[in-house]
């Protein structure tokens, strides 16, 4: 299992989560709300703010709309794409 520190805030790990109403998996930092889509490399320059991402789909940035996929953060080499 890989644990990746958030490249934006360096305060927490990146977690693989499911956005429930979208049925979509993304990577998310719980500390700073940085979000990366699964196909994107996790870097400091290409994150999206969780609230803005959700607004783009017509939802609020409410954390009740997500569920953590697993407690080990990014769960495989295939999940994490380094730059």
Q: Write out pLDDT tens, residues 36-68.
A: 999 989 999 999 999 999 999 999 989 899 998
Cα(74)–Cα(51) distance, rounded to whole angstroms? 21
Tell me the residue range of the domain where 32 lies.
Answer: 1-83
Give dist(CA 44, CA 11) in Å, integer.
13
Look at the pTM and tell me if it is higher than 0.95.
no
**Total of domains in the chain:** 1
Cα-Cα-Cα-Cα dihedral sign, residues 34, 39, 42, 47: negative
């Amino acid at each position: 299992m890989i644990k990746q520190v958030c490249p934006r805030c360096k305060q927490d790990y990146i977690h693989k989560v499911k956005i429930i109403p979208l049925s979509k998996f993304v990577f998310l930092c719980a500390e700073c709300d940085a979000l990366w889509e699964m196909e994107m490399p996790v870097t400091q320059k290409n994150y999206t703010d969780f609230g803005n991402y959700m607004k783009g789909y017509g939802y609020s940035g409410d954390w009740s709309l997500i569920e953590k996929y697993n407690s080990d953060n990014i769960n495989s080499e295939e999940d994490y794409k380094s730059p």
